[in-house]
Amino acid sequence: MVEVSYVNELLETMAANRKVEKLLNQKSKIERELREVQEKCNHPRQTIKQVTLDVGCQTSTRWVCDECASVVGYPSEEELKKYLN
């Protein structure tokens, strides 16, 4: 009975690993497509927004393209004051 339990655990782990690999591949494909869209965009309309930095919960105020959501620059002090008011 112990061997069956071990085999079941092993099969479940392998299935989970395959699922993780599939999801990571999908994520990579989506990130590549997003990068291509953002590189082709001329960023015609931009808005100052709070953006999340990396994986953490830190945010920063940046100019962001309204069409492709790409971070395109930093607001000046005057623009930042206007945004915060």
Q: What is the mean pLDDT of the chain?
A: 92
Residues 61 and 24 in one domain: no
Residues 32 and 17 in one domain: yes
Residues 35 and 47 in one domain: no
Domain limits at 72? 43-85
- DSSP symbol at 68: T
Buried b (16+ CB within 10 A) or exposed e, 43-58: eeebebbeeeeeeeee
State how many domains the chain has: 2
Task: Work out the average pLDDT over 2-31.
Answer: 89
pLDDT score at 2 = 56
Tell me if 64 sits within 8 A of 71, measured CB to CB: yes
Task: Work out the average pLDDT over 29-39.
Answer: 97
Residues 47 and 58 in one domain: yes
Q: Which residue has the tokens 């989970």?
A: 16
Q: Which residue has the tokens 């993780």?
A: 20
Q: What pTM, to 2 d.p., does this model score?
A: 0.72
